[in-house]
Chains A and B, each alone.
Chain A
Amino acid sequence: MSSEHHEELRGFHGIHRGFPWSHVVGLVVSLVLTFAALWLVQAHAMPHGLLLAVILVLAVLQIVVQLFFFMHFLESYGPRYHVTSLALAFVFTVCIIAGSLWIMTFGGEQTY
């Protein structure tokens, strides 16, 4: 690692001196979102279709929490690689979730 490069990283860490409140907030919010989803399902809190939609929304919120509180989404040095990787992640996520839903309905034989 070149020395200039490391100085840069050290400056990068310098921003975060002090108690890592954002991490604590992120942890609490992600736990709340997880348990909310669990409770909704366990309690049969709403009709089937609506339940599915709400869980999906909670899942998306969970992704946002992870990106902002843990993955330092807004910080960057040099080329904006994280925009590319986020676009790629979006493609993969859509492929996997849409693909799984499509596969697991077995041509309409099974409903979820």
Chain B
Amino acid sequence: MHLPGYVNNVATPFFVTGDPMIYASDVLIVLTLVAIVFVLTYFKKWGWLWREWITTVDHKKIGIMYLIAALLMLFRGGVDAMLMRTQLALPNMRFLEAEHYDQIFTTHGTIMILFMAMPFIFAMFNIAVPLQIGARDVAFPYLNAISFWLFFFGALLLNLSFVIGGSPDGGWTSYPPLTEWPTDPGPGENFYLLALQISGIGSMATGINFLVTILKMRAPGMTLMRMPMFCWSVVGASILIIFSFPALTVALALLMIDRLFGAHFFTMLQGGNPMMYVNLFWVWGHPEVYIVVLPAFGIFSEVVATFSRKRLFGYASMVASIMAIAVISYLVWLHHFFTMGAGPGVNSFFAISTMSVGIPTGVKVFNWLFTMYQGRIRLKLPMLWAIGFIPNFAIGGATGVMLAVAPGDYQYHNSYFLIAHFHQVLIGGVVYGMLAGMYYWWPKMFGIILNERIGRWAFWVFNIGFYVCFLPQYELGFMGMTRRIYVYPAGMGWTALNLISTIGAYLMGIAFVLIVWQVLYSIRFPERDVTGDPWDGRTLEWSLPSPAPHYNFARIPTVTARDAWWAEKEARRRGEDVQKELRPLEPIHMPNNSGRPFILSVCFFIGGFGLVFEWYWLAILGGLGVMLCLLLRSLETNTDHYIPVEEIRRTEAALGRL
């Protein structure tokens, strides 16, 4: 501990040792890898994996890969959560050591926000947006593949830290001066910085990609005000991504320069100021919260309208509130550090701007309620999660306004009250929303409907577990329990509430297992969606077969109304001839598959790994690989192809659509 940093670095073992749980994980990782390699080789699936998935630029497949990654990361982050809750279940627990606990809460937060919530929303973007606006792919399909693989290798880099080099342990916010080299030597924080940086490039590209897709590639007749609400929420989220991620990039890059090259941007001495990191982090961090929650709002809007068999109430006010939330989110970031002491003027301004977020959010909640009002509600799984979300979000919003009161925040700050609040909005908002979206679009992705009965069990166990877990934490916060403590003495009066909270966490874990079982059961005993429109949907994705052919639309539809597919079905019900204007098929222009996004991202991974361990030869090698991939792409001319009419006709005939 008293060694200078560089000695400590040399002494840091490459593989993490000493903890039996880590050894068990080592064994499990090796066994899983062996199993994957064996299965792929035995069933001769390597070529299939390369051709169909790794090199794909099809937004639907990229969406599915995002979804799988998000669920795996939900598992990893969830295991972290349950380890923490086990350690806190009783006073004076000796389940985890302090350092191990620090690492686990750090990776839990980082993974849940950046490697679970982000890919989950990107999964929904990819699966739904092009289908909803009547497009055949995103604006930049090749870039879309790069986004996914950069995210994938960023996530891999962070998860690797668990067994190689040691996990980051400075909290998911990674505040200096604690995370500067002298106080936190070793590769752990470097893993955090590089993993976020690499996946951040991918997120940025996704934001640009989907904004351009929505602005430029809508089907003829689909004006902005005829778009499905989910697409509007993606517009909002994309704008936030584009403008906020640069702040994170700068904060992480400066901290990395501090750590690796001995600069003093955020040190306490030589003119550095750690508060600037906090400021920059939350310039990104607050919009990030809305980046993940706006798409969830969009999904709820789709789900509530579909399962109430009514058009969405207050469409224009929904659009206005999404945009208002997007703009206001740039005026509130200081509320994450009221206690930094910026003075009463600053604190008052940010307190009031924060409270004003409640207005557009309230508008949205009432719009959902009015959409349901006098609707013919069907409580299918997506609707169940949407309805479960509303009380959740009301409580989360109310406690959020409590935290926005700056003098009050001095009391609640960094207590379990805060923990309970942000889990209430992030799980109650984002996770509920993404699960609703997953159930909603699952038939469109895979052509099967997930088993309803097991899904109901999962919902109820999760919903009950959620309240059991987090309601006691509000009270624990009031009783003075602060976040990030790994052990507490008996006799504080915290024991019973902590035990209850842990039981709730385990209930949510059981619910996750139920969801996995539901998926496996539904694959084994599939309920096929042969109509392409299992929910009697309203938007264009339900006009396609499930799963959609790789070119999506044989003919680009012409849109005449909001809820385009519903309008067409209504016209048919009235007996109008909607076939009359059926144009002849034309060859379809599609992008070529490419392996380069994958290879490019591998190079990023190699470069990032090199920087983590300060093996600069490896970092330079990775960087050169990146340059080479970019150069090759710049010189590439053969990037696209046409699908002949005959092939389209065959595909459509096989789907029964001709």
Contact = CB atoms under 8 A, between A and B. Distances in A.
Interface of A: 1-3, 5-6, 78-79, 81, 85, 88-89, 91-92, 95-96, 99-100, 102-104, 106-109
5 cross-chain pairs, A with B, having the tightest CB-CB distances, nearest first: A107-B343, A103-B342, A95-B330, A92-B243, A6-B589
B275 interface: yes
Given A78-B216, A103-B334, A104-B276, A1 B137 contact: yes
Given A3-B586, A96-B283, A100-B279, A107 B345 contact: yes
Given A2-B556, A78-B216, 7 more contacts: A3-B588, A92-B330, A99-B333, A100-B280, A100-B283, A103-B346, A109-B343
Interface in B166-198: none
A106 B341 contact: yes
Contacts of B345: 107
Contacts of A78: 216
B279 A1 contact: no
A21 to B, nearest CB: 15
A105 B607 CA distance: 38
A104 B215 contact: no
Interface of B: 135-137, 215-217, 220, 239, 243, 247, 273, 275-276, 279-280, 283, 327, 330-331, 333-334, 341-346, 556, 586-589
Given A3-B589, A78-B216, A100-B279, A107 B342 contact: yes
B135 A103 contact: no
Contacts of A104: 273, 275-276, 279, 342
B275 to A, nearest CB: 7
14 contacts: A2-B136, A2-B220, A5-B217, A6-B589, A81-B215, A96-B247, A100-B276, A102-B346, A103-B342, A103-B346, A104-B273, A104-B279, A106-B341, A107-B343
Given A100-B283, A104-B276, A1 B135 contact: yes
A3 B341 contact: no
Nearest to A20: B634
A43 to B, nearest CB: 15
A106 B330 contact: no
A95 B135 CA distance: 35
A59 B215 CA distance: 29
Contact of A95 (B220, B331, B588): B331
Nearest to A110: B273
Contacts of A103: 279, 334, 342, 346
Given A1-B137, A91-B327, A99 B334 contact: yes
B586 A1 contact: no
A1 B343 CA distance: 53
Contacts of A3: 586-589
Nearest to B139: A1
A99 B215 contact: no
A30 B357 CA distance: 38
A79 B137 CA distance: 21
A5 B243 CA distance: 28
B331 A89 contact: no
A1 B217 contact: yes
A1 B556 CA distance: 9
Given A96-B247, A96-B283, A107 B346 contact: yes
Best-surrounded residue of B344, B588, B589 (most CB of chain A within 10 A): B589
Nearest to A91: B327
Contacts of A107: 342-346
A88 B239 contact: yes
A88 B235 CA distance: 13
Best-surrounded residue of A81, A91, A92, A106 (most CB of chain B within 10 A): A92
Contacts of A88: 239, 243, 327
B528 to A, nearest CB: 30
Contacts of B334: 99, 103
